[in-house]
Chains A and B, each alone.
Chain A
Amino acid sequence: MSYDLQRGADRVSLGIVARRPALSVAIEGLLHQVEEIRHGADDFELRVDGRTFRGRRTISSDEIQIRLDGQTFVFRRLHGIRGIDTSAATGDEVRADMPGTVVACHTEAGAAVAPGDRLVTIESMKLQMTVSAPRAGTIARIHVAENVTFERGAVLVSLVPIAGEEK
Chain B
Amino acid sequence: MILFRKVLVANRGEIACRVLRTLRRLGIASVAVYHREDRNAPHVAMADEAIRLDGPVPSGAYLDRDQIIAACRSTGAKAIHPGYGFLSENAGFAEAVEAAGLAFIGPGADVIRLMGDKIRSREFAAGHGVPVAPSVTEDEAGEAFLARAVAIGFPLLIKASAGGGGKGMKIVRNTAELAENAALARSEASRYFGDPRIFAERLVEEPRHIEVQVMGDGNGNVVHFYERECSLQRRYQKIVEEAPAPNLPAALRDRICAAAVRLAAAANYRNAGTVEFILGADGEFYFLEMNTRLQVEHPVTEMVTGIDLVEEQIRIAAGQGLSFVQEQIRIAGSAIECRICAEEPDRDFRPATGRIALLDLPSGEGIRFDGGILAKQAVTPAFDSMLAKLIAHGPSRADAVKRLERALEQTAVLGVPTNLDYLLRIVRHPAFQTGRLHTGFLTLHAEDLSAPPADSPTSVAALIAAALGDKAFRDLAFGIPEPHATIGLWRN
Contacts and interface: CB of A to CB of B under 8 A. Distances in A.
Contacts of A39: 468
Interface in B398-423: 408-409, 412-415, 417-418, 420-421
A51 B457 contact: yes
Contact of B409 (A70, A73, A74, A79): A70
A98 B381 contact: yes
A65 B408 contact: no
Contacts of B424: 70-71
B470 A77 contact: yes
B209 to A, nearest CB: 20
Interface string A45-61: 01011010101111110
Interface stretch (A106-114, A123-131, A156-164): A123-131
A127 B385 CA distance: 9
A60 B470 contact: no
A100 B460 CA distance: 35
A143 interface: no
B458 to A, nearest CB: 5
Given A3-B467, A16-B477, A80 B381 contact: no
A32 interface: yes
A122 to B, nearest CB: 10
Contact of A69 (B383, B409, B413, B454): B409
Q: Name which of B358, B382, B459, B464 has the most chain A CB atoms within 10 A of its CB.
A: B464
B25 interface: no
Interface string A2-44: 1101011010101010010001010110101010100100101
Contact of B472 (A34, A58, A74, A79): A79
A60 to B, nearest CB: 7
Contacts of B467: 3, 5, 14, 25
B466 A75 contact: yes
Contacts of A59: 469-470
A68 B458 contact: yes
Given A3-B473, A59-B470, A27 B460 contact: yes
A68 B360 CA distance: 12
Nearest to B474: A39
Given A70-B424, A152-B353, A125 B385 contact: yes
Contacts, number: 165
Interface string B452-492: 10110111111111111110110011100010010011001
A64 B464 contact: no
B377 to A, nearest CB: 14
Contacts of A2: 492
**Residue among A8, A39, A57, A67 with the most chain B CB within 10 A?**
A67
A42 B464 contact: no
B421 A57 contact: no
Contacts of A154: none
Contact of B463 (A5, A23, A77, A100): A5
Interface string B437-460: 000000000000000101101111
B468 A73 contact: no
A72 interface: yes
Contacts of B414: 56-58, 65-67, 72
B469 A127 contact: no
Nearest to B422: A72
A56 B466 CA distance: 10
B463 A27 contact: yes
A1 interface: yes
A3 B350 CA distance: 31
A10 B463 CA distance: 12
A64 B418 CA distance: 15
B383 A42 contact: no
B360 to A, nearest CB: 7
A99 B353 contact: yes
A81 to B, nearest CB: 11
B433 interface: no
B355 to A, nearest CB: 9
Interface in A108-157: 124-127, 129, 152
A12 B454 CA distance: 11
Nearest to A48: B461
A15 B410 CA distance: 32
B304 to A, nearest CB: 26
B464 A1 contact: no
A5 B466 contact: yes
Contacts of B385: 125-127
Contacts of B351: 98, 124-127
Contact of A56 (B235, B350, B408, B412): B412
Contacts of A74: 417
B235 A67 contact: no
A19 B461 CA distance: 17
B459 A73 contact: yes
A75 B465 CA distance: 11
B54 interface: no
Interface in B336-365: 342, 350-353, 357-358, 360
Given A16-B477, A59-B470, 5 more contacts: A27-B463, A32-B464, A57-B466, A65-B415, A74-B417
Interface of B: 235, 342, 350-353, 357-358, 360, 380-385, 408-409, 412-415, 417-418, 420-421, 424, 452, 454-455, 457-470, 472-473, 476-478, 482, 485, 488-489, 492
13 contacts: A3-B470, A27-B460, A27-B463, A44-B468, A53-B462, A55-B462, A55-B465, A59-B469, A60-B415, A66-B465, A79-B470, A99-B381, A125-B342
